[in-house]
Amino acid sequence: MPKVAALQFATGTEVNENLATCIRMIDAAAARRARLMVLPEFCNRISWYGDRQHAWDCALDLEGPFLSAIAERARFHRCYVLINVSLRRQEPEITVTSLLYGPNGALLGEADKQSLMGHENDFFTPAKRAAGLVDTELGRIGFLACRDGISFEPSRRLALAGADLLCNSLNSFAFDEASLHVRARAAENRLFMIAANKVGPLVPVAELAQVSAITSIPETLLHGAGESQVVAADGRPLVAGKRGVEQIVLAEIPNRDARLRLSMGTHARRKPSLYASLADEAVAPSEEVAETVDIALLDPAGEGEVAIERAEELLLSLPDTVSLALLPALFAAGDTDKDWAHTVEVCRAAETRLQQVCRAKGIQVCTSVIDEGAQGWHHMGILLDGHGRRLLQPQLHRCPMGLAPGGADLQLCDLPWGRVALLVGDDCLYPELARMAALRGAHCLLVVAAPERCGRGKREQNLSLLMAARAAENRICLAAATPNRRGGLLASLEHEFTLMEPWQQRRFDGNINKPLVTVQEGEVTIATLHPGAAMNKMISANTHLLRDRAHQSTAPLLRPVSGVSP
């Protein structure tokens, strides 16, 4: 089992001092027998400049003394070193580049950052092509940097191209980057992730007070968040660093063959033909949206008639403020044992009774049913009101129940309080669909996840992590109902979100883009969501979550896996 390390440290404004820190940390990790070391983003200098000339002066040459010294340490210790720096290209272009050096000191691969964050757009040029995949004796290593890990596309591209290990170099003061985004990228691709973040001030010390006053971010939160980690394939950290301290975060990970067994089949059910709209420009969510909406998650006990009666009771007892209730997929069906004809009868009885409640209560209800179509039995999501089916969404990917997909497109529906999309069964495990809904202007994503009995064998999904990530990376509200409350949640959004703008309603608490999560508990869980907040997707100056996503990684997601290249 190879040892890997995330090196967590601070850098300042003096390039030579930063080089000495990098070498000291590499030597210390080598003394603990790390074979692969991941360093943070912007190792040569903190990313804060007076102008473009200043940024150019502080950037490195690929063959210059700084990177030559790093290559020499990799050769000396016979290890792999991934470092991120600002790199001079054809003047005046500067890129934010990750470089992987091998045990013989050779540069094995490089990757320019695809999506820049905030003021980085003033100084750097984004990648012209997606890269960052290298075959080594430790495995096929894919690497990216910071903002590229907030979106699912770069990691997904690397996974589809055959990466069996992901590495992320960060320069972030955001607590939610470590607790949410890094872990979600590992979990959704079933890959181990090594993530190295900074500590110490991320702006020059002499300017901390001024920057804090301008941004309304406390000085103590303008420091790198640390919390570097090695994350397992289920999104749970094997080991995590602390905040605010220099650290070598070291772990043993399974060898390549064992990692491949863990991730085997993860992407087999993807349907690239569905995802064409990932290449489209984002549609701005309509301003004709309610600021708030109350949504309930229900999980009635029993099955068949017992479950239907209990669902009716729960619905009728909901406060009148609740506009929509979600029930788990096939909530009344019990253990179908693939007796689809019987299941259809139960589903039809449940649907008829739910529609009657909708009419009497003036509420909408979302769940799923088994229906018979032209291609046989299909798993279908339904959104009901007093008049019947307001939205019918077939499951789009083949499900573990053995049923063929029943549709070829993601449907959207405009409700009085906002635009919604519905994900059915295992469709919620595909980040592509959540992104498609956001690109088409959805304010809220409704999820009726697959019943536990129809789950993915022994491969338990970290569903709550994945659902929170879908809400965050798309700035979209989300409601997910599950049987036995395993991963169900309601995710809302902070109204004030954009960095470097004054906030009136809240103080910055270290989280940039962490949704407000209410976990599903008991038979009834109610929360107030803020669909109006989904209109704002500007994470920082010149940085729109959707318009400025990593477009270079989109095209490979639309091709069959055999057509993906590094």
pLDDT digits (tens, 9 = 90+) for 145-183: 999 999 999 999 999 999 999 999 999 999 999 999 999
pLDDT digits (tens, 9 = 90+) for 413-429: 999 999 999 999 999 99
pLDDT-based confidence at residue 340 (cuts at 50, 70, 90): confident
| Neighbouring C-beta atoms of residue 286, cutoff 10 Å | 14
In contact, 361 and 316? CB cutoff 8 Å: yes
Domain with CATH 3.60.110.10 in the chain: 3-272, 282-546
pLDDT-based confidence at residue 216 (cuts at 50, 70, 90): confident
Which CATH superfamily does the domain covering 282-546 fall into? Carbon-nitrogen hydrolase (3.60.110.10)
Calpha distance 256→266 (Å, rounded) = 16
pLDDT digits (tens, 9 = 90+) for 16-52: 999 999 999 999 999 999 999 999 999 999 999 999 9
Whose tokens are 């008049």? That residue is 387
Contacts of 339 (CB under 8 A, 6+ apart): none
Calpha distance 256→277 (Å, rounded) = 34
User: How many residues does this entry show for the chain?
Assistant: 566
Half-sphere exposure of 463 (CA within 13 A, CB side): 29
Which residue, 433, 293, 287, 283, is CA-closest to 363? 293
Q: Bridge-partner residues for 421, per DSSP?
A: 412, 445
pLDDT digits (tens, 9 = 90+) for 500-546: 787 888 888 899 889 999 999 999 999 999 999 999 999 998 899 99
The answer on pLDDT for 480 being more than 90 is yes
Which residue, 539, 513, 550, is CA-closest to 117? 539
Q: Which two tokens stand for residue 5?
A: 């390390």
DSSP letter (8 states) at residue 200: S
Handedness of CA 41, 44, 46, 50 (dihedral sign): negative
In contact, 185 and 155? CB cutoff 8 Å: yes
Q: Which of these CATH numbers, 3.40.50.150, 3.40.718.10, 3.60.110.10, 3.40.50.300, describes 3-272?
A: 3.60.110.10
450/30: higher pLDDT? 30
